[in-house]
Amino acid sequence: MLTDLHCKNATCPPDRKRARFTDSAGLYLEVSPAGSKRWFWKTYADGKEGRLALGSYPAMRVADARKARDAARLQKAVGVDPVQARRLDKLKGQREGGGTFKAVALEWRAKQVEGWSPEHARRTLRQLERDLFPWLGDRPMAAIEPMELLAVLQKVEERGALETADRALMLARQVYEYWLPTADKAQRNITEGLKKRLTPYRGKHFAAIVEPQPCRCWTAPAMAGLRAAQGSEHRTIHFKDSSSYLPQHQLRFLKGGNRGRACPDRCRTFGAVGQ
* CA-based nearest residue to 153, from 123, 177, 130: 130
Based on the fold, state whether residues 88 and 115 are members of the same structural domain: no
Please name the helix (run of DSSP H) or strand (run of DSSP E) that holds residue 83, with its range, or none: helix 82-92
Answer yes or no: is 211 within a domain: no
Based on the fold, state whether residues 225 and 267 are members of the same structural domain: yes
Based on the fold, state whether residues 15 and 48 are members of the same structural domain: yes
Answer yes or no: is 171 within a domain: yes
Based on the fold, state whether residues 161 and 239 are members of the same structural domain: no
Residue 58: cis peptide before it, omega within 30 degrees of 0: yes
Answer yes or no: is 139 within a domain: yes
When divided into structural domains, the chain yields a total of 3
Residue 218 neighbours by CB under 8 Å, 6+ apart: 244
Based on the fold, state whether residues 172 and 241 are members of the same structural domain: no
Tell me the C-alpha to C-alpha distance, in Å, between residue 20 and each of 32, 52, 67, 132, 146.
9, 14, 19, 54, 52
Main-chain dihedrals φ then ψ at residue 46, nearest 5 degrees? 55, 35
Report pLDDT for 1: 86
Based on the fold, state whether residues 240 and 191 are members of the same structural domain: no
How far is residue 222's CA from residue 189's CA, in Å, rounded to a whole number?
Answer: 56
How far is residue 110's CA from residue 112's CA, in Å, rounded to a whole number?
Answer: 6
Answer yes or no: is 177 within a domain: yes
Answer yes or no: is 214 within a domain: no
CATH of the domain at 61: 3.30.160.390
In SS3 terms, 219-251 reads as CHHHHHHHHHHHHHHHHHCEEECCEEECCHHHH
Based on the fold, state whether residues 193 and 106 are members of the same structural domain: yes
What is the pTM assigned to this prediction? 0.52
DSSP state at residue 131 = I
Answer yes or no: is 212 within a domain: no
Residue after which a domain boundary falls, among 92, 110, 143: 92
Based on the fold, state whether residues 73 and 124 are members of the same structural domain: no
Residue after which a domain boundary falls, among 131, 164, 197: 197
Q: Along the chain (275 residues), what's the average pLDDT of each consecutive run of 10 residues?
A: 90 90 92 92 82 91 93 86 77 63 95 95 97 95 95 96 96 95 87 94 69 57 58 46 48 46 46 39
Residue after which a domain boundary falls, among 39, 60, 92: 92
Range of the domain at 268: 220-272
Report pLDDT for 91: 67
How far is residue 108's CA from residue 112's CA, in Å, rounded to a whole number?
Answer: 6
Answer yes or no: is 40 within a domain: yes
Q: Judge contact between 177 and 223, C-beta under 8 A.
A: no
Report pLDDT for 231: 57
Answer yes or no: is 170 within a domain: yes
